Structure 1
Amino acid sequence: MYGKPQDLQTVLQEQKTYYNSLKKQLVFENTHEAIIDADTWERVQELRKTNTA
C-alpha cells in the first residue's frame, strides 16, 4: 500500500486468500467459558442433521 494511493476496489482485488490444511490448524479446547453447554450443542447438532435430510 506504500507509494501512490489506490482505491479500495484495487486493494481488495490484490488481496490473496490462504487456506491452511487441517494439519496446520491449532485447536485449543476448553480455553474459555462456553456460550452454550456441550449437551445443548450436541442436541442441536442432531436436530440440524434430521432437519436437513
Structure 2
Amino acid sequence: MIEFKGVTKKYDNVIALNNLNLVIPAGKIFGFLAADRINMLAKGPLMSVCTIF
C-alpha cells in the first residue's frame, strides 16, 4: 500500500502539490490522468515525491 497524507511540494514560491491525500491499495494498478494543462503539470512533482520515499 502507498499512502500520502497532507503532502505539499513547492518550487520557490510556486505550489506544485497542495495538501495531497492519496491511498493506493496493495496489488492495485494506478494511473495519472489529467483533464487540463494545470493538472497535467502536477503529475511530474507527484512522481518525484513518490520516488523519494
Alignment TM class, shorter chain as reference: under 0.3
Select the structure that is richer in helix: 1
When normalised by structure 1's length, the TM-score is 0.27
**Higher relative contact order by CA 8 Å / sep ≥ 6: 1 or 2?**
2
Bigger Rg over Cα: 1
Select the structure that is richer in strand: 2
